[in-house]
Amino acid sequence: MPRATPLADPSLDQRALDRLRTTFGHGAFRGNQAEIVRHVASGGDALVLMPTGGGKSLCYQLPALLRAGTAVVVSPLIALMQDQVAALRQNGVRAASLNSSLDTQEAGRVQRAALAGELDLLYLAPERLLSEGTLGLLSRLGISLFAIDEAHCVAQWGHDFRPEYLQLSALHERFPAVPRIALTATADPQTRSEIIDRLALGDARVFISSFDRPNIRYAIVDKDEPRAQLLNFIQSHHPGDCGIVYCLSRRKVDETADWLVARGIHALPYHAGLDAAIRSLHQQRFQQEDGVVVVATIAFGMGIDKPDVRFVAHLDLPKSVEGYYQETGRAGRDGLPADAWMTYGMADVVQQRRMIDESEADAAWKRIAGAKLNALLGIAETAGCRRIPLLAYFGEASGACGRCDNCLDPPQTWDATEAARMALSAVYRSGQRFGMVHVIDILRGKSGERMQRWGHDQLSVFGIGTDHDETTWRAVFRQLVAQGLVAIDHQAHGALILTESSRPVLRGEQSLLMRRPRQTGRDSTLRKRANRRGSASTPPGHPPVGAAPTQGKALTSARPQHDALAADLLNNLKAWRLAEARRQSLPPFVILHDSTLIALADRRPADLQSLGSIPGIGVKKLERYGDALLAILTPPPP
C-alpha cells in the first residue's frame, strides 16, 4: 500500500534552510533540491535524475539530518564512500561506512555506533547490505531513509550494470515504511523505467533536473595521430591541470601514460590489470595531488568524486551516450570551466560494432546497444551544436549553447550527394567485402598488388574520386555509417555493406549535406574564439569556457586578471589547504573546494562573521579553520 503524499510543512522548509547554511555552508538551494529535500524528509519515495556536480548527494544527506534515525546509503565503490564520509565528518555530520576495507575491530566499532544511535548516515556496498548479518543489524536500527546512489547500476541496458543492485527491491519488502530515494546522473527514458521497475519505485515521485552542464565545453575532433592531438590539447589548454584520459584497452592505457610521461605530462595509468596496491596508490595521488592526469579504462569511474578535474579526454569512442555523458561529467564538478575532448575515427566505429556483434547477449540487447552507439555517432558527426542532440537523447530540448566546438568554430558543410553516390557505388561494385581504407583507395585510383589481385583497378569507379583527399573520404564514410546508409559486416572482417536506406541516394532521389573535416590546427583557434564570445555565451561569474587556463590561473580567471593580490592569496590558500589535507590524510577538496578558495581570495573577509558567509564554510569548518584562514587573508601590516 503506497504511503500518503507528503504535505507541505513550512517549519520543515525553514529547518532545511538552517541545516543547509550551518552544516554545508550554503545560503540557498539549487534547482529542485528544495522540493526533493522536502518530499523525502516528509517520508516520500523519489527517483532523482540530476547531472554530476548538480548536488545529488545533498538530496539525501540533508533529509537524513532532518529525519530521526540513521540513513542507510547504498554506494557502489569503497573510494566513493570514503570520500563522502570524510567530507561529511568535516562538516560535523556523524557518518561512517561498512565495507571490506575495514578490519574486524573497525567494523565492530561502526556497528556499535550505529546501534547506539550515534550515526546520521551509514554507507554500505550492495553486497554488504544484502548479507543476512547486515540485514539483521539494520532491523535493530531506527532507519530514517534508504538512499540508493548510482541507481543506473540496476539497469541492464545501462552502462555500469551491477547485478547486486537487482536485489535491492528487498529493501522495500523488508522495510516497507522506510522512504527510499534512488539517484543517478544518467538515465534515458528506458533506463528510468527499468530503475523504477527493478527497485519497486512505482509510487515514487520522479524529479528530473536539467542534464545540461553549461560549464563543460564539448569538442570532438577527427582522429589523426591521436596521442599527438591529445598532447597538443593538454599543452594548449590545460598545462598543469588535473584530468582523465579514457582508453578502451589496458595496453593502450599503459602505452599512452608512458608516452605522456616521456613528454613531461604527470600521467599515471589505471586499469583492472594493475596490481590492486598500484591502482589504490594512483587513485590516491590523483585525489590528493595537483596536476595529475590519469590515463584509464572505464574501471576508473564511479569512485571519482574529485571536483576540480579540468578536463576529460577520450582517445576511443565510448559505447553509448550514457557512457559518454557519465564519463565527461567527471570534469568540472565544482562548476568552474572544464573541457570534454574526444578524438575518434572509423576504426572506433568498427571496433564498437564488432564488440556488439560478438557479444554473447541476445538479439534484443544487441539491437538496443547498436541504437545507443548510433545516437553517439550522431553527436560526433553533427555539424550543429553538440549540446542539442546530447540533451535531446535524455528528453530535454535546448537551443545552441554557444560554447561547444561547433558553436565556437562552426564547421563547413557541403552538398555531398555526388560524393556519397560515388562512395556507395564503390562499396557495391567491389562486392561489399572490403573495409573503408580499400574502398577509398579504389575511389582515389591507388594501384597496387592487392588492387590488381582483385581486379579493382578495372572497376568503373576506380579513380573517380580523385577530387577529394583521403581525409575528406574518411569523413564521408563515417557520416554514411552515422546516417545508417552503410553498415559494417564483422563476419567479413569489417567490410562495408549497403543498407536499404542507401537506395534513394544511389537513385538520385535524396540529397545529402555533410560536415567537412576540420583542417589541421583549427582546434587551436577555439580558445581565441571563445575569448571573443565569452561575454555572450558564458554563465555569469565564469571565464570563457574555451579559455581553459593553467592550474595556477584556473581559479583566478573568474576575477579580473589584474588583481595580483587575489592571485597571491589564492596561491597561499591552496598551499595551506594542501598542508592541512596532508596532515589529516585527506584529499584537499574535502577540506575546502576550489570554488570556496576563489570566493575567499575574491571577497577577502576580515572577521569570522563575514568568513562564515562564504559558500562552503559551515559552522564546523568555521570553528576548525576560521583563524587560520583569517591569518592568510588579513596578514599583519609590514
Over the stretch 289-316, which tens digit does the pLDDT of each residue have?
889 999 999 867 656 678 889 999 999 9
pLDDT band for position 627 (cuts 50, 70, 90):
very high
Query: Do residues 205 and 35 make contact, with C-beta atoms less than 8 angstroms apart?
Result: no
* pLDDT value of residue 82: 86
Q: What is the pLDDT of residue 79?
A: 78
Nearest to 520 by CA among 280, 314, 153, 221: 221
Instruction: Out of 192-196, 496-500, 608-612, 617-621, pick the least confident.
Output: 192-196
Same-domain status, 398 and 417? no
What was the pLDDT predicted at 7?
47
The pLDDT assigned to 529 comes to 44
Is residue 522 over pLDDT 60? no
Asked if the structure places residue 532 within a domain, the reply is no
Tell me what pLDDT residue 350 has.
Answer: 85
The yes-or-no verdict on residue 179 having pLDDT over 60 is: yes
Residue with the three cell numbers 575511389: 443
CA distance 179 to 248: 39
- Supply the pLDDT for residue 369: 85
Same domain flag for 456 and 594: no
Question: Both 229 and 301 in a single domain?
Answer: yes
pLDDT over 60 (residue 555) = no
d(CA 366, CA 358): 9
pLDDT of 5 strictly over 90: no
What is the mean pLDDT of the segment spanning 543-563? 37
> Three-state DSSP class for 568?
helix
| pLDDT, mean of residues 401-426 | 95
Is residue 409 a contact partner of residue 531, using CB atoms and an 8 Å limit?
no
Q: What are phi and psi of 155, to 5 degrees?
A: -90, 120
Residue where the block lists cell 586499469: 271
**Nine cell digits for residue 586:** 585527506
- Does a structural domain hold residue 526? no
Question: Are the C-beta atoms of 337 and 541 separated by less than 8 Å?
Answer: no
DSSP three-state, residue 95 = strand
* Interval 337-350 mean pLDDT: 92
Q: What is the mean pLDDT of the chain?
A: 86
pLDDT at 636: 66
Tell me if 44 is assigned to some domain: yes
Q: What is the DSSP letter of 424?
A: H
Q: Is the pLDDT of residue 559 over 50?
A: no
Contact in structure between 349 and 481 (CB atoms under 8 Å): yes
Mean pLDDT of 489-508: 86
367 part of a folded domain: yes
Decide if 110 contacts 98 (C-beta within 8 A): yes
The answer to whether residue 276 is domain-embedded is yes
541 pLDDT above the threshold of 50: no
Q: Tell me, what amino acid is at 620?
A: K
- pLDDT at residue 553 in the model: 34
**Spatial separation of the C-alpha atoms in residues 144 and 146, rounded to whole Å:** 7
Helical segments of 320-469, H only: 321-328, 346-357, 363-381, 387-393, 405-408, 417-429, 436-444, 449-453
Q: Which DSSP category does 131 fall into?
A: S
Same domain for 60 and 119: yes
Give the pLDDT confidence of 18-69 residue by residue, as tens digits. 999 999 999 999 989 999 999 999 999 999 998 877 888 999 999 999 999 9
Whether the predicted pLDDT of 17 surpasses 50: yes
Q: What is the pLDDT of residue 301?
A: 65
**Are the beta carbons of 258 and 330 closer than 8 angstroms?**
no
How many other CB atoms are there within 10 angstroms of residue 498's CB atom?
18
In a domain, 30, yes or no: yes
Asked if 506 and 571 sit in the same domain, the reply is no
Q: What is the reported pLDDT for 290?
A: 84
Tell me: pLDDT of 527 over 80. Answer: no
Decide if 81 contacts 131 (C-beta within 8 A): no
In this prediction, residue 544 carries a pLDDT of 37
Q: Which three cell numbers stand for residue 170?
A: 528487498
165 and 242 part of one domain = no
Of 208, 227, 262, the one marking the end of a domain is 208
Residue 449 lies in domain: 413-515
Which pLDDT does position 156 carry in this prediction?
65
What three-state secondary structure class fits 20? Answer: helix
What cell numbers appear for 309 in the block?
578535474
Inter-CA distances, 197 with 40, 147, 201, 354, 367, Å: 19, 16, 6, 31, 21
Give which of 210, 254, 213, 202 is closest to 47, Cα–Cα: 202
Among candidate residues 208, 243, 274, the one where a domain is terminated: 208
User: Do 451 and 556 belong to one domain?
Assistant: no
Q: Are residues 368 and 433 in the same domain?
A: no
The pLDDT of residue 520: 53
pLDDT digits (tens, 9 = 90+) for 582-625: 999 988 989 999 889 999 999 999 999 999 999 999 999 999 99
pLDDT at 556: 31
Report the CATH number at residue 570.
1.10.150.80
Residues 157 and 27 in one domain: yes
Are residues 392 and 441 part of one domain? no
Assess if residue 4 is contained within a domain: no
Tell whether the model's pLDDT for residue 126 goes beyond 90: no
Q: How far apart, in whole angstroms, are the C-alpha atoms of residue 263 and residue 261?
A: 5
Of 373, 408, 443, the position where a domain reaches its end is 408
Give residue 359's pLDDT: 84
Express each pLDDT in 372-381 by its tens digit: 888 999 999 9
Question: Cα angle at 431 between 428 and 433, to 5 degrees?
Answer: 110
Do 475 and 600 lie in one domain? The reply is no
| Whether the Cβ atoms of residue 190 and residue 234 lie closer than 8 Å to each other | no
144-168: pLDDT as tens digits: 999 999 888 887 655 566 777 777 8
Q: Give the total residue count for the chain.
A: 638
H helices of 295-386, in order, are 321-328, 346-357, 363-381
Q: pLDDT of 137-147, one tens digit each? A: 999 999 999 99
Query: Which of 98-107, 250-259, 281-290, 483-492 has the highest average model confidence (pLDDT)?
Result: 250-259
User: 522 lies in a domain?
Assistant: no
Residue appearing with cell numbers 584509464: 296
Percent with pLDDT over 70 in the chain:
89
Domain count, the chain: 4
**Residue of 102 and 428 predicted with greater confidence:** 428
Sign for the pseudo-dihedral over CA of 294, 233, 482, 446: negative
Parallel/antiparallel/unpaired status of strands 143-148 and 70-74:
parallel
Cell numbers for 81? 564512500
Separation of alpha carbons 163 and 151, rounded Å: 12
Q: Identify whether residues 90 and 200 lie together within a single domain.
A: yes
561: pLDDT strictly greater than 50: no
**Mean pLDDT (whole number) for 123-142:** 87
The residues near 436 (Cβ < 8 Å, ≥ 6 apart) are 346, 474, 477, 496
Q: Which CATH number do you get for residue 137?
A: 3.40.50.300
Q: Rounded to the nearest 5°, which phi and psi values hold at 219?
A: -145, 135
Distance CA 177, CA 3 (A): 8
Q: Average pLDDT in the 253-275 region?
A: 95
- CATH classification of the domain holding 500: 1.10.10.10
